[in-house]
Chains A and B, each alone.
Chain A
Amino acid sequence: MKKDKKKENLITAEASAPAAPRDKTEGRFYRIVHSEAFSGYMFLLPWLIGFCVFVAYPIIQTFIFSFSDVQIRLGEIETSFIGFGNYAKALLQDAKFTDALGEYAMQIILYVPVITVISLILSMLLNSKLKGTGFFRTIFFFPVIITSGPVIKMFIDQGVASFPGIENLIDFEKLAETLPQFLVDALQFLTSEFIMILWFSGIQILVFMTGLQKMDKSMYEAAKIDGATKWEMFWKITLPALNPTIVLNVVFTVVMQSIFSLNPIISKIQTDMNATDGSGGYGYASAMAWIYFILMLVLLGVAVLIFKKHEKRIKTDRRFKLLKRAKGAKA
């Protein structure tokens, strides 16, 4: 009892006494530890450590390697600076690499718009009030689950990814007589890769569907009363509203295509890195990886710019002309 009373006295004394000036550093430490930001960073810490060790460090290391001749002897790494030698070799002497780069660029240029358009169309169909949409949604998303590395390799090897029926329908030789060769090539590429394109659209369809489901239905009703046709509603309401989603899907498609495990450039970099005949090595592989990375960034930048520009155009289209006139009329 006595002890309790003493405690009570202490508490009241503490409460009534003016706050004693605290040690500055202790106060700051206390504040930092108890701040929300600190908790946030603590949660982030495992990921940050992982990122530094497994991503940031290797990136810097490969950048240094790409300008060096790297020799690995008995567990020791010896590097000697050779400037842009590896880059020059990759771009000027290694035809296999430049061919693979060209094929990759072509693939991205064709895949991105086609996957974007197809997934947009499919998402709109799957979003409509049809019977069995749940079943079809599963069907289109299914490949995303099953087409992981080894499974897809087996499928491609067995010819599941191509669809000879479609390819044989079109006589490409005859087409080449009337159409420019690059168009025929692109068409042939698309038909042969048609199933792969559908397989790679699962996530994009899902992203578009979330975008579509977020849209306010009464907006379409208002447009219907305003006299808009379904076609006009798509171009003037749906598409502008979906533009951020389109940009997201474009970035996603480019990145997914670039890190796809069966990508020929990635396999070439891997084999060259471990080459023992002196043709490759870590330095050369790093240079190729950096060229590939820069090309990917450029393609990504171009794709995003095109769609961002489209978004801006939608925003500014006609608006200013009409506003200027309205101002003029007011004046």
Chain B
Amino acid sequence: MASISLKNIYKTYPGGVTAVTDFNLEIHDKEFVIFVGPSGCGKSTTLRMIAGLEEISSGDLYIDDRRVNSVEPKDRDIAMVFQNYALYPYMTVFENMAFGLRLRKVPKKEIEQKVTQAAKILGIEDYLKRKPKNLSGGQRQRVALGRAIVREPKVFLLDEPLSNLDAKMRTQMRTEIIKLHKELQTTFVYVTHDQTEAMTMGTRIVVMKDGLIQQVDTPDNLYEFPVNKFVAGFIGAPQMNFIDVMLSQEEKTDPVYAKFGRNSLLIDKATQKRITCEEVNQRQFVLGVRAEDVSLVSGADKKFKDATVKATVKVTEKLGNETLVYCSVDGVNGDVVVRAGARCNVLSGDEIEIGFDTKHVQLFDYDTEQSVLKR
């Protein structure tokens, strides 16, 4: 149980490449923090700096108020789970889990007790005699988790632990890791590039891009109130629809319209109130709308009054529980994705009408790509 504090952390490699820039974060005790971002955004580097496997170029790292910049990994009281499991191939599952304890000269009886207990939690009691090569991916990752558990560390560091597993096993292990966090009541720092993992597991998510923190927030807030276009696009699947729009508002009290091509959408009053810009009339913005906030509408539908546009269906994706409809809309680069019901029967080439729920749209500055809506 520990808190981690990262203050002005930089990581610069000898070639001059900066992987992490001015990283500031307070991770509280028992928190499950997720670092998420595309490949090369510096999330793994940051985790490795916390682990002590990577040197910190500048800045301060504290674990429980103790500065650990130059403390050896073994003395940081952390345990790490790697993407490729990093099990010792010539040792059995038991030996793999006992290795760290043996090096710490823990009495043999205690080792046996801890290993069997951890194996019981993870359901790998029957595999203790086996070598890693005789285990499936999921079992190997459990052993890797077991190796971390027996150490009873203050902090668990997990570097994309589910990336090598198939989709079904990933979902199963995801739930198990969440359960494990609840059971162990310890600080977890988890790195992933999979936004589903991030959204389902973390108590807080750190979204990173190009070595910089973009936003640190709870999963709900990240989804509802992204601070910029990158976060809005990265979180959520399918990706948020982005439309370059021109806002028009004749008087300050008048309603705001978002215009693109021959289309015009009336922005909901609640959203209008959240706009932070002084003057929006005739200014270009990026309108962001999630697929579930766009619907197929029939002419009689009044829900989307003044917020409907004509569209042509390009492709439909039947996912079983829902259908994703990809449409082309006048004035929009790329497709607009609509999340429709499971039994939606539109076909490619159909001319349809789609409605935007402008209460839940996002607005980003055209140049800075920062959100112009307050919470």
- Using CB atoms and an 8 Å cutoff, list the residues of chain A in contact with chain B: 216, 218-219, 221-228, 232, 236-237, 240-241, 314-315, 318-319, 322-323, 325-326, 329-330
The residue that A222 contacts in the complex, of B80, B90, B92, with Cβ under 8 A, is: B80
A158 to chain B, nearest CB (A): 45
**A219 lies within 8 A of B112 (CB):** no
The residue that B113 contacts in the complex, of A236, A323, A329, with Cβ under 8 A, is: A329
**A222 lies within 8 A of B86 (CB):** yes
Q: Is B366 an interface residue when CB atoms closer than 8 A count as contact?
A: no
Q: Is B294 an interface residue when CB atoms closer than 8 A count as contact?
A: no
Q: Is B95 an interface residue when CB atoms closer than 8 A count as contact?
A: yes
26 pairs, A vs B, C-beta closer than 8 Å: A216-B86, A218-B82, A221-B51, A221-B82, A225-B53, A226-B147, A226-B151, A228-B103, A236-B88, A236-B99, A237-B90, A240-B90, A241-B89, A241-B90, A314-B90, A319-B95, A322-B95, A322-B108, A322-B111, A322-B112, A323-B92, A323-B94, A326-B112, A329-B112, A329-B113, A329-B116
Chain B residues with CB under 8 A of A236: 88, 99
Chain A residues with CB under 8 A of B111: 322
**A216 lies within 8 A of B103 (CB):** no
Chain A residues with CB under 8 A of B108: 322, 325
Chain B residue at minimum C-beta to C-beta distance from A314: B90
| B:141-195 near A, CB below 8 Å | 147, 151
Q: Is B233 an interface residue when CB atoms closer than 8 A count as contact?
A: no
Chain B residue at minimum C-beta to C-beta distance from A317: B95
| B:51-109 near A, CB below 8 Å | 51-53, 72-74, 78-80, 82-84, 86-92, 94-95, 98-100, 103-104, 108-109
**B112 lies within 8 A of A325 (CB):** yes
Chain B residue at minimum C-beta to C-beta distance from A220: B86
B244 to chain A, nearest CB (A): 44
**A223 lies within 8 A of B95 (CB):** no
**B73 lies within 8 A of A216 (CB):** no
Chain B residues with CB under 8 A of A225: 51-53, 73-74, 78-80, 100
Identify the interface centre among A224, A227, A323, A329: most chain B CB within 10 Å of its CB.
Answer: A227
Chain B residue at minimum C-beta to C-beta distance from A311: B90
The residue that B94 contacts in the complex, of A232, A241, A322, with Cβ under 8 A, is: A322
**B129 lies within 8 A of A323 (CB):** yes
Chain A residues with CB under 8 A of B115: 326
Chain A residues with CB under 8 A of B27: none
Q: Is B352 an interface residue when CB atoms closer than 8 A count as contact?
A: no
Chain B residue at minimum C-beta to C-beta distance from A321: B108
Identify the interface centre among A226, A241, A329: most chain B CB within 10 Å of its CB.
Answer: A226
Dominant SS among interface residues on chain B: mixed
Chain B residues with CB under 8 A of A226: 74, 99-100, 103, 147, 151
Q: Is B128 an interface residue when CB atoms closer than 8 A count as contact?
A: yes
Chain B residues with CB under 8 A of A322: 94-95, 98, 108, 111-112
Identify the interface centre among A221, A237, A318: most chain B CB within 10 Å of its CB.
Answer: A221
**A319 lies within 8 A of B94 (CB):** yes
Task: Please report the C-alpha to C-alpha distance between residue A323 and residue B73 in the assembled complex, in whole angstroms.
Answer: 29
Chain A residues with CB under 8 A of B88: 219, 222-223, 236-237
| B:264-310 near A, CB below 8 Å | none
Chain B residue at minimum C-beta to C-beta distance from A225: B73
Chain B residues with CB under 8 A of A318: 95
The residue that B92 contacts in the complex, of A224, A314, A319, A329, with Cβ under 8 A, is: A319
Given contacts A237-B90, A322-B95, A325-B109, 12 further A-B contacts (CB under 8 A): A216-B84, A221-B51, A221-B86, A222-B80, A222-B87, A225-B52, A225-B79, A226-B74, A226-B99, A228-B74, A228-B99, A322-B98
Task: Please report the C-alpha to C-alpha distance between residue A225 and residue B156 in the assembled complex, in whole angstroms.
Answer: 12
Task: Please report the C-alpha to C-alpha distance between residue A112 and residue B310 in the assembled complex, in whole angstroms.
Answer: 82
Task: Please report the C-alpha to C-alpha distance between residue A225 and residue B73 in the assembled complex, in whole angstroms.
Answer: 5
Task: Please report the C-alpha to C-alpha distance between residue A221 and residue B85 in the assembled complex, in whole angstroms.
Answer: 11
Chain B residues with CB under 8 A of A221: 51, 53, 80, 82, 86
Chain B residues with CB under 8 A of A326: 94, 112, 115-116, 128
Task: Please report the C-alpha to C-alpha distance between residue A315 and residue B86 in the assembled complex, in whole angstroms.
Answer: 18
The residue that A224 contacts in the complex, of B74, B109, B116, B147, with Cβ under 8 A, is: B74
Chain A residues with CB under 8 A of B86: 216, 218-219, 221-222
Chain B residue at minimum C-beta to C-beta distance from A222: B86
Chain B residues with CB under 8 A of A314: 90
Chain A residues with CB under 8 A of B79: 225
A95 to chain B, nearest CB (A): 48
**A227 lies within 8 A of B94 (CB):** no
B353 to chain A, nearest CB (A): 54
Identify the interface centre among B95, B108, B111, B112: most chain A CB within 10 Å of its CB.
Answer: B112
**B73 lies within 8 A of A224 (CB):** yes
* 4 nearest A-B pairs in the assembled complex, by CB-CB distance: A226-B100, A227-B74, A218-B86, A240-B90
The residue that A227 contacts in the complex, of B51, B53, B100, B128, with Cβ under 8 A, is: B100
Chain B residues with CB under 8 A of A315: 90
Task: Please report the C-alpha to C-alpha distance between residue A182 and residue B153 in the assembled complex, in whole angstroms.
Answer: 54
Chain A residues with CB under 8 A of B78: 225
Identify the interface centre among A218, A319, A330: most chain B CB within 10 Å of its CB.
Answer: A218
